[in-house]
């Protein structure tokens, strides 16, 4: 496996691509206050058409025209020692936050009353900007390389929402900047900018085979070529261990006698990881296991499809759970959409933020775009197989409550229903004929181990001679 899987915190990937291209004109700067117990603050009255506020250390706020509901005093505070809460153990929040407070809620983005009839909205990278934020940061002096820019919006009722945004390093001014889309800033009375890096103590699982012992997954084991076998393939931000803790229930429901899986680098595109999975499956065939079924979740479904044409074994059934299948893929591959969703769900998908950066840099995210060249190649490969497995497709139709606030943006790109990560029309794609689709009112990470799904899939793959 590539070294990038083992060491992903790279200084050159410190910040994602530049945010939107709106050019915002600043009004005269306010006179900032001096440091007090690690605080640098300033307030300035801004007219209805917005303006700018700059602190003595270079922290800056630019409010775009159309963002304020009325003229008001805006206050910015750079707390050099504050640490924003980390969403999971793999993240490290870098000390220092820039908090901007507004007297009145920012104007909310309007959402059309009916879904758009097409899939050609403006690029997410050009979403209208409400506020531009900047906080001091110099890579040479930073003790951790920044991987993610986090903005936390606060609302009059006391609730907060966290989202990850593309940022850019402004080396000339020694700071990191990000643009907050109007669709996300609407209704907020405060915006807090913080920076995140990989937690130094977090260790990524080593890639390689996994063997089900009957009670848990192990990195060592053997395969009996005479036993009916199911191969498990995980998706993003997961491993075989975390995606399929219910392996025994799945095996029992399908009449399988043993289970094996592969932990792979999900941040690489399918044309890279597909051959890795194919090599693993062919190693099973060389060991005498000439027939097996596959059950894959999420992105693992696409990696599985990419591997199938190169596998030298009989595969009676391939089960895909919430897969962004050809040629639908996922519109989350457009601009920063996937970053927004994954950061919003960082307490669900546990992993260091640099994984998101690497998924963008490697081309993995782009490969998932609807009708991408990678998905077209996968479809051609599967269609060309002489002996195709029976494809059993499971889709979820319930989004995560945590991401409901993203609706003003996702509305223009997602075809509902979806499971919070993958649309139903992708998970039940008809581009590869002969599939057996089924939908459940579940979220993306509920598809693997919910009893109703296990029972349904088990009934489809269970050998007729063993069925009750």
Residue 39 β-bridge partners:
36, 79
- Same domain as 291, residue 160: no
* Mean pLDDT (whole number) for 402-407: 82
User: 123 falls in which pLDDT band (50, 70, 90)?
Assistant: low
In a domain, 35, yes or no: yes
The per-residue pLDDT for range 228-257, each reduced to its tens digit, is: 999 999 999 899 999 999 999 999 999 999
The per-residue pLDDT for range 158-217, each reduced to its tens digit, is: 999 998 888 899 888 899 999 999 888 999 999 999 999 999 888 877 899 999 999 999
Q: Structure pTM? A: 0.85
What pLDDT was estimated at residue 203?
A: 82
The per-residue pLDDT for range 312-349, each reduced to its tens digit, is: 999 999 999 999 999 999 988 987 888 888 888 888 88
The rounded distance, in Å, linking the Cα atoms of 436 and 430 is: 9
- Same domain as 233, residue 177: no
DSSP states along 114-126: S--SSS----GGG
The residue out of 173, 198, 223 marking a domain boundary is 198
CATH of the domain at 109: 2.60.220
Average pLDDT of every residue of the chain = 86
Of 388 and 2, the one with more pLDDT? 388
- Same domain as 194, residue 321: no
- Same domain as 179, residue 47: yes
DSSP states along 378-421: HHHHHHT-SSPPEEEEEEE----GGGGGGHHHHTTT--SSB-SS
**Would the pLDDT of 277 be above 80?**
yes
CB 100 within 8 A of CB 191: yes
What pLDDT was estimated at residue 142?
A: 61
In a domain, 6, yes or no: no
Cα separation values, 215 from 136, 211, 243, 249, 353, Å:
50, 10, 15, 10, 31
**Would the pLDDT of 281 be above 90?**
yes
- Same domain as 270, residue 127: no
In a domain, 33, yes or no: yes
**Would the pLDDT of 435 be above 50?**
yes
- Same domain as 218, residue 72: no
In a domain, 188, yes or no: yes
In a domain, 220, yes or no: yes
CATH of the domain at 320: 3.40.50.1820
Q: Is the dihedral of CA 408, 409, 413, 415 positive or negative?
A: negative
**Would the pLDDT of 18 be above 60?**
no
Number of other CB atoms surrounding residue 255 within 10 Å: 16
- Same domain as 192, residue 127: yes
**Would the pLDDT of 122 be above 70?**
no
The rounded distance, in Å, linking the Cα atoms of 18 and 169 is: 8
- Same domain as 90, residue 220: no
- Same domain as 260, residue 178: no
In a domain, 41, yes or no: yes
User: 143 falls in which pLDDT band (50, 70, 90)?
Assistant: low
* Mean pLDDT (whole number) for 125-147: 81
43: containing domain? 16-198
In a domain, 8, yes or no: no
The residue out of 144, 164, 198 marking a domain boundary is 198
The per-residue pLDDT for range 57-112, each reduced to its tens digit, is: 999 999 999 999 999 999 999 999 999 999 888 999 999 999 999 999 999 765 54
Number of other CB atoms surrounding residue 54 within 10 Å: 20
The per-residue pLDDT for range 355-387, each reduced to its tens digit, is: 988 999 999 999 999 999 999 999 999 999 999
- The token pair at 437 is 């689709």
Give me the residue label for tokens 């479904």: 301
Q: 3-17, 232-246, 395-409: which has the highest mean pLDDT?
A: 232-246
In a domain, 4, yes or no: no
* Mean pLDDT (whole number) for 27-51: 69
DSSP states along 201-257: T--PPPPEEEEE-SSSEES-----TTS-EEEEE--TT--HHHH-TTHHHHHHHHT-S
* Mean pLDDT (whole number) for 420-445: 94
Q: Give the number of domains in the chain.
A: 2
- Same domain as 141, residue 265: no
What pLDDT was estimated at residue 121?
A: 53
- Same domain as 357, residue 286: yes
- Same domain as 229, residue 174: no
The rounded distance, in Å, linking the Cα atoms of 186 and 125 is: 18
393 exposure class (CB count in 10 Å sphere: 0-12, 13-18, 19+): buried
The residue out of 180, 198, 216 marking a domain boundary is 198
CB 299 within 8 A of CB 235: yes
């Amino acid at each position: 496996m590539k070294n990038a899987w083992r060491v992903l915190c790279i200084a050159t990937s410190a910040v994602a691509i530049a945010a939107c291209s709106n050019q915002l004109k600043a009004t005269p700067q306010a006179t900032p206050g001096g440091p007090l117990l690690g605080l640098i603050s300033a307030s300035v009255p801004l007219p209805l058409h917005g303006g700018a506020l700059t602190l003595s250390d270079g922290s800056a706020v630019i409010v775009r025209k159309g963002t304020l509901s009325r003229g008001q005093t805006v206050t910015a505070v750079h707390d050099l020692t504050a640490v924003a809460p980390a969403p999971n153990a793999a993240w490290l929040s870098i000390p220092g936050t820039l908090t901007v407070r507004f007297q009145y809620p920012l104007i909310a983005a309007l959402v059309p009353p009916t879904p758009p009839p097409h899939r050609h909205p403006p690029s997410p990278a050009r979403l209208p900007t409400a506020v531009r934020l900047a906080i001091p940061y110099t890579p040479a002096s930073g003790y951790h390389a920044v991987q993610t820019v986090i903005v936390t919006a606060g609302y009059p009722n006391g609730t907060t929402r966290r989202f990850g945004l593309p940022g850019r390093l402004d080396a000339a001014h020694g700071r990191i900047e990000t643009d907050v889309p109007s669709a996300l800033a609407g209704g907020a009375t405060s915006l807090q900018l913080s920076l995140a890096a990989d937690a130094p103590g977090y260790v990524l699982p080593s890639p390689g085979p996994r063997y089900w012992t009957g009670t848990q997954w192990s990195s060592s084991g053997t395969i009996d070529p005479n036993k009916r076998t199911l191969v498990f393939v995980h998706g993003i931000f997961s491993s075989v261990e975390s995606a399929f803790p219910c392996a025994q229930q799945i095996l029992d429901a399908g009449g399988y006698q043993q289970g094996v899986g592969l932990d792979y680098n999900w941040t690489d595109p399918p044309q890279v990881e597909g051959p890795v999975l194919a090599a693993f499956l062919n190693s099973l065939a060389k060991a005498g296991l000439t027939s097996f079924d596959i059950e894959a979740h999420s992105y693992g479904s696409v990696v599985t499809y990419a591997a199938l044409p190169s596998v030298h074994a009989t595969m009676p059934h391939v089960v895909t759970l919430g897969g962004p299948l050809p040629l639908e893929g996922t519109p989350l591959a457009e601009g920063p959409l996937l970053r927004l969703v994954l950061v919003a769900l960082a307490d669900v998908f546990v992993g260091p933020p640099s994984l998101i950066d690497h998924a963008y840099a490697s081309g993995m995210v782009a490969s998932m775009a609807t009708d991408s060249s990678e998905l077209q190649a996968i479809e051609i490969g599967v269609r060309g197989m002489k002996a195709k497995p029976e494809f059993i497709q499971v889709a979820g139709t319930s989004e995560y409550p945590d991401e409901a606030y993203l609706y003003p943006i996702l509305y223009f790109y997602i075809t509902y229903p979806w499971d919070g990560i993958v649309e139903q029309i992708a998970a039940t794609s008809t581009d590869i004929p002969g599939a057996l689709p089924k939908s459940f009112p579940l979220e993306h990470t509920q598809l693997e181990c919910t009893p109703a799904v296990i029972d349904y899939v088990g009934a489809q793959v269970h050998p007729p001679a063993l069925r009750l």
